Amino acid sequence: MHGEQTFTILRPLEAGKTYIGHYRVRDVLDKGEGKGALVSLEKELREKETNEVVSLVTSTYVLRGDGGHGGTKDLDTPCQVTYPDVKTVCENPDTHYYWDEWYPTRKVHTLAAEAMLETLKASR
């Protein structure tokens, strides 16, 4: 379920330019078994040529009934040290959100899918 959202425009978008958005999981707050969880996402929109950030979007989703997993640990610590070093340094990738600086683990995809599913169910 959609909780809240903020949208910050840092500079106007220009016609004819290409922009790329990158999502990042900022935090997961576990409210407890049967009480749900909160997922906080951040999206940066960047101009492709200059890589300049032109806007920021932060969103919070309520995952009803999905609590009891312990919340986040080591969000900003990648599962492996550098890419393409494929040796996994974490014991369980599902406790980390990123394999390296850019690539999310399965945990991120699962949380995002659950949030979207809840939003779709609520809109019916």
Contacts of 53 (CB under 8 A, 6+ apart): 10, 44, 45, 46
| pLDDT value of residue 50 | 92
Low-confidence ranges of the chain (pLDDT < 70): 65-95, 98-103
What global pTM score does this model have? Answer: 0.50
Asked whether 45 and 90 are in contact (CB, 8 A), the reply is no
| pLDDT value of residue 40 | 83
Give, rounded to a whole angstrom, the gap between the first and last alpha carbons of the chain.
12
| pLDDT value of residue 48 | 92
Domain extent listing, the chain = 2-123
| pLDDT value of residue 66 | 63
Assigned token pair, 102:
């850019």
Class of domain 2-123 (CATH, top level): alpha beta
Residue 55: name the closest of 23, 6, 9, 5 by CA.
9
Query: 73-110 in b/e burial notation, b at 16+ Cβ within 10 A?
Result: eeeeebbbeeeeeeeeeeeeeebbbbbbeeebbebbee
| pLDDT value of residue 116 | 78
| pLDDT value of residue 47 | 93
| pLDDT value of residue 70 | 63
Query: For the chain, what's the residue count?
Result: 124
| pLDDT value of residue 60 | 86
| pLDDT value of residue 117 | 79
Assigned token pair, 75:
């969000």
